[in-house]
Amino acid sequence: MSSKRILVVMIAVVVALTAAISFAADQPVKAKKSEAPAEKKAEPAAKDAAPRLTIVEPIKDYGTISKGEKLDWSFLVKNTGDADLQIISAKPGCGCTVADFDKVIKPGETGKVTAHVDTTAFAGPIAKTITLETNDLTTPTSQLTIHAIVKPYVEAFPAGFVRFNLLQGEAESQSVILYSEEEEPFAVTKVELPIDPTTNEPVKWVNATYEKIATETDKAPNVGRPGQDQYKVKITVGGRDTKLGPLSDKVHIITTSKHQPDYFVSISGVVRPPFRVEPTALNFGEVSPVDVAATRTVILHSNNLRAPESFVVSRVESSIPAVVSSVKPTANKGEYEVTLQIAKDAKPGDVDGTVKIYTNDKMSPIVTVPMKATIKAGAPAKSAAK
């Protein structure tokens, strides 16, 4: 009898446990079903508007062109985005000039970047670039390029420039030979001098002449088309009207060349004064005749590198009686030392005058150096007993 009761109790326990497990398993499912309606599918984020740079033709190739030809090209820049495209800058490389560019390009529209290249100073293959900076975050910088092969139909031997190192008042001449690669007969027809911007007239310190070279032995060797005429252009720079400082001019040569009628010979160098003066003004300050500072010197030095000894200082004159002047050559050729000294018997007070230095220079024969001083009373003389 007890065995039957035990079996009934065990069956009851198993049934109870099964019911409990079944109920617990059903709870998450029901919860998920009740929460399902609360879930909403996330909407995709809206796409941000942005500009997009598209260059229609990033490279322009001109092929072979004549030296001196001016290249002008407008690159097309398109905005394929959906916001305004801003061109922040267009930076040209060496030898290229950007004339203008469209700063703002609307979506779907096309703008321009215009570039100019002067090929006067180039020969052979060239590649001139422009770097664009834009607000396109995917392509903040882009490059535009102009390609060409520059062919000189007219050239100069030994070079297309002359350089001078002159003293003011001197004159010097140099020559170049112009030759051509043209098939047609070549000739120089005219030479134009550089223009002085202050007078709008040809400068007075440059002169140029030309002549056809008559003999084959005088022609530049192994250049130009065989049998073609060559011309000698003589350029003279200098004279009394020559300005001091660096030289930067061009002589314009006009020819019969079909491809390159204009040729320019550059003039460079420097014009220096015939001599230099150091210092150019003197101020003794407050001194007495016995002070060390009562003696000062002015040095004159020739700038003539070829013959410095040709520069001579003959004499000096002081306009101040209280200042004694003298001159003597130094150990260096073309150099002179002018000594200026407060006189021992100079009276106290302020003095203001000049010292004139006489030279043999044709441009500046007399040099005037201003002088100033405040003279104090000298120290009293010591007694014989002391």
Predicted confidence (pLDDT) per residue in 100-115, tens digit: 899 999 999 999 999 9
- Beta strands at 97-101 and 171-180: parallel, antiparallel or unpaired: unpaired
Nearest to 334 by CA among 300, 381, 292: 300
Q: Taking a C-beta distance cutoff of 8 angstroms, is the pair 130, 92 a contact?
A: yes
| pLDDT score of 6 | 58
pLDDT < 70 regions, the chain? 1-47, 378-386
Q: Which residue has the tokens 């051509």?
A: 180
Contacts 24+ apart (CB under 8 A), 126-131: 126/95, 126/150, 128/92, 128/93, 128/94, 128/95, 128/96, 129/92, 129/93, 129/96, 130/75, 130/90, 130/91, 130/92, 130/93, 130/96, 130/98, 131/90, 131/91, 131/93
| pLDDT score of 8 | 52
Dihedral angle computed from the Cα positions of residues 264, 269, 271 and 275, in that order, rounded to the nearest 10 degrees: -160
Domains of the chain: 53-151 (2.60.40.10), 154-272 (2.60.40.10), 275-375 (2.60.40.10)
Cβ neighbors of 134 (< 8 A, separation 6 or more) are: 51, 53, 85, 86, 87, 88, 140, 141, 142
| pLDDT score of 48 | 78
Q: Taking a C-beta distance cutoff of 8 angstroms, is the pair 163, 268 a contact?
A: yes
CA angle 34, 37, 39 (to 5 degrees): 110
- Please write the tens of the pLDDT for every residue from 130-184: 999 999 999 899 999 999 999 999 999 999 999 999 999 999 999 999 999 999 9
Q: Which amino acid is at 46?
A: A
- Beta strands at 85-92 and 104-105: parallel, antiparallel or unpaired: antiparallel
